[in-house]
Amino acid sequence: DQQVKQNSPSLSVQEGRISILNCDYTNSMFDYFLWYKKYPAEGPTFLISISSIKDKNEDGRFTVFLNKSAKHLSLHIVPSQPGDSAVYFCAANNGNQFYFGTGTSLTVIP
Amino acid sequence: KAGVTQTPRYLIKTRGQQVTLSCSPISGHRSVSWYQQTPGQGLQFLFEYFSETQRNKGNFPGRFSGRQFSNSRSEMNVSTLELGDSALYLCASSSDARVGNEKLFFGSGTQLSVL
């Protein structure tokens, strides 16, 4: 039962343009959401998070939006850079454990 | 502060063997979680340990087990290995995975290949 879903396995974007990665969840008890970035042969590293009491959180080029009514969150990267090419995982916590999506592989084309 | 350390980085085993993976969390972190990553499946939760007690367990067969020591270091064991166990096994530590706004810190993983 996949409670956190990333329906796009891959995404290609031109350098300098916006990258939008999407994530949907089914459990309304999730109250904390995170995005992780993963390079090959490395563990995921924390990128940005958002609490369920907010609908937007920014950190430099990265912004996460949360739409609780739609049970949807998205990560915007502006402007995209070649070094952003990686697999991005969204995750959610219900106060008991973390649930991860299947990941979206982002390729930023120079 | 040193990060999460997993050993070994790579492991090759044959079907039927058993394997033990090790994880040293960030100093001061008491929660250690284990995840399996396979292509197309994302990160599948195996189990979480907190202060030497297993608090949560994912939907994996009993061949997968773990433990945590008093210094918070954790080991994961897989017995009677199957070809489908080939995966990247990730360990993550946090102060307490159940506390709001906590984040997980991951190690580099152990890449297990079962032949």
Asked if omega into B8 is within 30° of 0 (cis), the reply is yes
B39 to chain A, any CB pair closer than 8 A? The answer is no
Q: Beta-carbon neighbour count of residue B99 at 10 Å?
A: 12
Query: What number is the average pLDDT over the span A55-68?
Result: 97
User: How far from each other are the two terminal CA atoms of chain A, in whole angstroms?
Assistant: 38
Tell me if A43 and B98 make a contact (CB, 8 A cut-off). no
**Among B38, B79, B36, which Cα is nearest to B47's?**
B36
Return the pLDDT at B41. 78
Q: Which residues of B touch A90 (CB under 8 A)?
A: none
pLDDT tens digits for chain B (115 residues)? 679 999 999 999 999 999 999 999 999 999 999 999 987 778 999 999 999 999 989 999 999 999 999 999 999 999 999 999 999 999 999 987 666 678 899 999 999 999 9
Residue of A nearest to B110 (CA): A41
Tell me if A51 and B100 make a contact (CB, 8 A cut-off). yes
pLDDT at A34 over 90: yes
Distance separating alpha carbons of residues A67 and B47, to the nearest angstrom: 29
